[in-house]
Homo-oligomer: A and B are copies of this chain.
Amino acid sequence: MGTTQLDSVPEPKYWHLKTVIGEALDTDFSVGEILPNERDLAARFGVARATLRQALEQLELEGRLQRRRGVGTTVAPPRVGVDVSTTRHRWPGAADDSWRPVDCGLPEVPAAVARLLDLDPAAGAPVHMVRRIRLTHGQPVAAEQLYVPASSVPALTAIDAPSGPTRARAVLRELQRLTLDGQDRAVELGSARAEDAKELDRLPGAPVLVVTTRYFSAGRTAALSLGTYRADTCRLTFGDAGDLQIAS
């Protein structure tokens, strides 16, 4: 028989689908264009809807597609570069930095946060939590929880607004008065908590890049930031030489 080479390791259907659809996106579709719905696509490729969805999920993970319930599946624009470099040593909230303060409160801090702030978990020292949203081209790309021990901003009076954006700005303003000795940063994959998902216009559990930043002042950790970036639409950039190239 003239059968072709046996597939010693046959490729899964969804993997093949992903390749085929991915190539079609490059050639037959333009950014923003809407794809046929999942039932049609599945029928067209002769697979079950669940299998087709596996392929679409991967393409969405890679930022090639955007899916919205009740609307449809569209071709995603290229990911936007979001600068998260640590080379400029600045406190959060400095001289407008594309973040919009949303709220502020004095929550109980998770044990993991307390540990990173070098706080005694049992002591229950008060910690401000500033909540901010980062916008790029008018779209929300990140939600942040910034933990600031009250001891870092002692001059802050409780007389001002106890919560809300005004309070958030007050905390950030006080932070600028400290000397920033340094910062360090880590990036890892996570899934969006319900609260963050809402602000990012995603469903809970959506893949996100979690950026953890410690701000050091006077030999201690003066603030801790937990940034949640949309993994589908963002590319985090650390550019200490990004502009060398523009000359071309």
Contact = CB atoms under 8 A, between A and B. Distances in A.
9 contacts: A58-B191, A61-B190, A118-B248, A182-B244, A184-B239, A184-B241, A186-B244, A188-B246, A189-B231
Given A112-B248, A247-B116, A62 B191 contact: yes
Interface in A107-137: 110, 112-113, 115-116, 118
How many identical chains are in the complex? 2
Given A116-B247, A207-B207, A189 B63 contact: yes
A79 B188 contact: yes
Shortest 9 CB-CB contacts between residues of A and residues of B: A182-B241, A184-B239, A184-B241, A189-B231, A188-B235, A112-B247, A185-B238, A186-B244, A187-B236
Interface stretch (A29-37, A65-73, A150-158, A211-219): A211-219
B186 A241 contact: yes
A191 B79 CA distance: 15
Interface of A: 15, 18, 58, 61-63, 79, 81, 86, 110, 112-113, 115-116, 118, 181-191, 204-205, 207, 209-210, 212, 214, 216, 219, 221, 226, 231-232, 234-242, 244-248
B247 A186 contact: no
A136 to B, nearest CB: 14
Given A110-B247, A246-B112, A186 B216 contact: no
Given A112-B246, A181-B244, 6 more contacts: A182-B239, A186-B237, A186-B241, A188-B235, A190-B246, A214-B245
Which of A18, A226, A248 is the most central at the interface, judged by chain B CB atoms within 10 Å of its CB?
A: A248
B188 A236 contact: yes
A244 B231 contact: no
A108 B221 CA distance: 48
Nearest to A59: B191
A185 B85 CA distance: 9
Given A115-B245, A116-B245, A188-B235, A240 B182 contact: yes
